[in-house]
Amino acid sequence: MSLLDRRFAGDGSAVLTPWVPRRNPLRLSQVLAYVRGLPWDDLRYTFWIPGYLICFALLEAVPLRRYWATQLPVDQFIPYCSWFFVPYSMWYFLMILAGIRVFYTDRAAFRRYMRFMSVTTWVSVVFWIVCPNGQDLRPASPGGLFGSAIAALYSVDTSTNVFPSLHVVGSIGAALTVWDALRNRDRLYCLSVYALAFLVCLSTVMIKQHSLLDVIGGVALSWVVAKRVYGRKL
């Protein structure tokens, strides 16, 4: 007789007791043990990130009356294309996911990634302070499919502190780190990262968030720092 038949036949032994979730409150000692067990020798390389975010927010909050305009005549011939907002906004996921994947694959490569990003980022911050810059390419009323999203982006991210482009620097950094750690392990993943990194770099000029000169500056800074960080690997 099946369990269901036995229940309807009045066999009390077949009645299942209701499931009660087991409540084990997380203890402070467990939390501290988990924190102590984290790989701090590698995670300390990420400590530059909060400092950079604070500096960037402060610089963005300071209105600039005079700045070096980075646009070139050739920028006028680059069309505005709203759908490039999609790869532009994926920059954050690109950097984070590449970092997490490399962190769990090759800790030495992760440390090189963090060194590359920290040096390029702080060099950029110092340059923004010494040489305030911006661009005047944004359309007054962004149109297209993602026009409203781009308008919202413009409202929270000013057109100053654009040279060199950190979107370009970060994209190159993500591509470099997967090349460093995964080129012989997961080529399809690497190719996907390379393609997205290229689209992000292209998107910076297509949505008029950066000028072509900002992109060139990001590439040049990345090359100089990469030669120091990756050395003979390049």
The mean per-residue pLDDT over the stretch 102-114 comes to 95
Q: What are the pLDDT digits (tens) for 150-178?
A: 999 999 999 999 999 999 999 999 999 99
- Assess whether pLDDT exceeds 70 at residue 77: yes
pLDDT at 223: 97
Q: What are the pLDDT digits (tens) for 14-30?
A: 455 565 565 666 676 66
- Dihedrals phi, psi of 43, to nearest 5 degrees: -70, -25
Which pTM value belongs to this model?
0.83
CB neighbour burial string for 19-49, b if at least 16 within 10 angstroms, e if fewer: eeeeeeeeeeeeeeeeeeeeeeeeeebeebe
What lies within 8 Å, CB to CB, of 197 at 6+ separation is 94, 171, 172, 174, 175
pLDDT at 44: 84
CA-angle at 99, arms to 98 and 101, nearest 5°: 65
Other C-beta atoms closer than 10 Å to the C-beta of 111 total 17
- Assess whether pLDDT exceeds 50 at residue 36: yes
Distance from C-alpha of 122 to C-alpha of 52, rounded to nearest angstrom: 7
Q: Is 74 exposed, middle or buried (0-12, 13-18, 19+ CB in 10 A)?
A: exposed
Share of the chain above pLDDT 90, in %: 72
Ramachandran bin of 233, using left for φ above 0, alpha for ψ from -120 to 50, beta for the remaining angles: alpha
